[in-house]
């Protein structure tokens, strides 16, 4: 009985689907690389803008600035005196107040800094105050000596150069 065997070509199917898939993967890879490069460039440019902004900063009239922020602090104290249960809101307001004051006094955007970032700056008094505020500000049960913290904040603002 005669048997015949036909040997088939190794790749009987078309190579186009493989080529298209490879091209699509290459295109996606190139797009991802381009996005990473553009993000790096954008971040470097943003860093330059912050540097330029810091260079253009001018020191304000410290006496007026101190008077303004001492008045705001007095307002926080009066609110606390009217309701002694408002410990957390008082600390939150003091934190915003002293950060904003330090930003206007130095040009350093400490309003966006965490405590660890503030500690890395030369603003030791600010770091000490913010650290004191953290527990009553973020603890489940706010307990703190608001009056003492207000006096410390008042002292830091008054001594600021």
SS3 14: coil
Structural domain boundaries enclosing 129: 62-159
Query: Are 20 and 52 in a shared domain?
Result: yes
8 A C-beta contact, residue 73 and residue 97: yes
Query: Are 52 and 80 in a shared domain?
Result: no
Q: What is the pLDDT of residue 50?
A: 52
Query: Are 66 and 118 in a shared domain?
Result: yes
Query: Are 97 and 23 in a shared domain?
Result: no
Q: What is the pLDDT of residue 8?
A: 65
Q: What is the pLDDT of residue 101?
A: 95
8 A C-beta contact, residue 95 and residue 137: yes
8 A C-beta contact, residue 134 and residue 95: no
Domain-located, residue 106? yes
Q: What is the pLDDT of residue 51?
A: 53
Q: What is the pLDDT of residue 48?
A: 57
Count how many Cα atoms sit within 13 Å of the Cα of residue 77 in the half-sphere of its side chain. Answer: 14
Number of domains comprising the chain: 2
In order along its 161 residues, the chain shows pLDDT tens digits of 677 766 666 656 677 888 899 999 999 999 999 999 998 888 777 665 555 555 567 888 999 999 999 999 999 999 999 988 788 889 999 999 999 999 999 988 898 898 889 999 889 999 999 998 888 877 777 777 889 999 999 999 999 98
Q: What is the pLDDT of residue 140?
A: 73
8 A C-beta contact, residue 146 and residue 90: yes
């Amino acid at each position: 009985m005669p048997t015949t065997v036909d040997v088939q070509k190794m790749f009987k199917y078309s190579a186009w689907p493989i080529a298209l898939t490879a091209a699509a993967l290459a295109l996606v890879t190139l797009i991802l690389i381009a996005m990473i490069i553009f993000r790096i460039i954008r971040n470097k440019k943003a860093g330059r803008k912050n540097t330029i902004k810091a260079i253009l900063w001018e020191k304000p009239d410290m006496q007026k600035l101190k008077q303004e922020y001492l008045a705001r602090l007095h307002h926080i104290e009066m609110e606390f005196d009217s309701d002694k249960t408002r410990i957390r809101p008082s600390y939150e307001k003091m934190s915003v107040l002293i950060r904003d004051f330090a930003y206007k006094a130095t040009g350093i955007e400490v309003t966006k800094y965490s405590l660890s970032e503030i500690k890395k700056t030369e603003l030791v008094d600010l770091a000490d105050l913010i650290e004191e505020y953290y527990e009553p500000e973020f603890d489940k049960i706010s307990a703190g000596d608001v009056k003492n913290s207000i006096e410390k904040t008042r002292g830091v603002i008054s001594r600021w150069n």
